[in-house]
Structure 1
Amino acid sequence: MGDALQRKGLHGVGLSEILAAADTPKGGLYHHFPGGKTELAVAAIEQQVAELCALLDKLLPTASDPVAALELWTARAQQLLAASGFQRGCPLATVALESEVDDIAIRKALADGFAAIRERLAQAFQASGKIANAAGLAALIVAAYEGALLQARVAGSVAPMELVSATLFPLLRTQLQGNAHD
């Protein structure tokens, strides 16, 4: 369901499409997900968050610095977006943009997901020992990433992501280097 959420959003993907992709009869859906499409969407969001966090967990410790890990992360996102013909954005953002006030469980899963991603990034900056406001910086990075990804999807070009990366990453490196001398 993650791919369908990325391409069409929660309200754009039909239950029949979900069941066909899972090769599951309708009764199987309600057996495993008594809450129906909403419960299934929450499970899909949680799985996407787990995959994103696992990727960050893999990239952050192996990169020479947090900025290098972010460069790998955004390069991967650009490749996936371009390979999908600019149809697959962030599954969290796609659902978040169309969620409504009454989508309480979905909004909580999304909020928890964004918080988990920000926390991974903040931990990496804290571990570097060179960033004073790691949580704020992590929030800025996630906002810049999501905004650039959205603009790239709409434009049908990775240029907005490249521009944000080319601007943000040198600033982060300067911050890391400047604080290293303090």
Structure 2
Amino acid sequence: MRASAELFRRNGYTGTGLKQIVAEAQAPFGSLYHFFPGGKEQLGDEVIRESGLLYGQLFDIFIAPAPDPVSGVEAAFAAAAETLVETGYADACPIATVALEVASTNETLRKATADVFTAWIDKGTETFERFGLSTEDARRLTIAAVTSLEGAFVLSRALRDTEPLRVAGTTVATLARELQPS
């Protein structure tokens, strides 16, 4: 699953073949169907859900320990930009990569990505509420952060430039500042 997650993040779901996965995992080909009798689709579903949970923990890593939502947002976007540069613009969000590819062609994987995004929105809302934001404002800020981050990943990867992440981070930080209780 770890090898699949890495390959999906870098190459997308359709750009990743089963032979590539087992080679990367250094596993016998038959083990894939032993553990995932539903084949690549089952593997993809499980990888999306597990990876999604891991990426959802970024709220705990960057936002929750921050002194305020603005600092948390700034730290999260700065870390995302740093990761892109360090990985040659290869490592972005595997969930968005797969969602963009399969949302209209594979209901199982569309549902998996939707469930992950819903979990992130719930987690972010809960995290921002701890700073005193109303549920509505916390949800609005979370959706703005997730959509801005995902869109900025796409632009930054295509342009090979972190400017979109910097601009998106500033924009979401501005919203966080506006929504902070007085």
Above 0.5 in TM-score? yes
1:145 paired to 2:149: yes
User: 1:59 Cα deviation (Å)?
Assistant: 2.9
Question: Does structure 1 conserve the Cα–Cα contact (< 8 Å) formed by 2:13 and 2:44?
Answer: yes
SS in 2 for 1:128: coil
**Aligned residue among 53, 60, 68 for 1:50:** 53
Residue number in structure 1 paired with 2:86: 83
User: 1:100 Cα deviation (Å)?
Assistant: 4.7
Q: For 1:17-96, what aligned pairs fall within 5 Å after superposition?
A: 17-96=20-99
Q: Distance in 2 between matches of 1:2 and 1:67?
A: 30
Question: Does structure 1 conserve the Cα–Cα contact (< 8 Å) formed by 2:74 and 2:170?
Answer: no
* More moved, 147-156 vs 59-68: 59-68
Q: Distance in 1 between matches of 2:165 and 2:43?
A: 31
User: 1:162 Cα deviation (Å)?
Assistant: 0.5
Identity of aligned residues (%): 33
User: 1:11 Cα deviation (Å)?
Assistant: 0.4
Question: Does structure 2 conserve the Cα–Cα contact (< 8 Å) formed by 1:66 and 1:124?
Answer: no
Question: Does structure 2 conserve the Cα–Cα contact (< 8 Å) formed by 1:53 and 1:120?
Answer: yes
User: 1:169 Cα deviation (Å)?
Assistant: 0.7
Give the aligned length. 178
TM-score calculated relative to the size of structure 2? 0.90
Question: Does structure 1 conserve the Cα–Cα contact (< 8 Å) formed by 2:52 and 2:116?
Answer: yes
Residue number in structure 2 paired with 1:120: 123
Structure 1 stretches of 4+ with a deviation exceeding 3 A read: none
Q: CA RMSD in A?
A: 1.6
User: 1:49 Cα deviation (Å)?
Assistant: 1.0
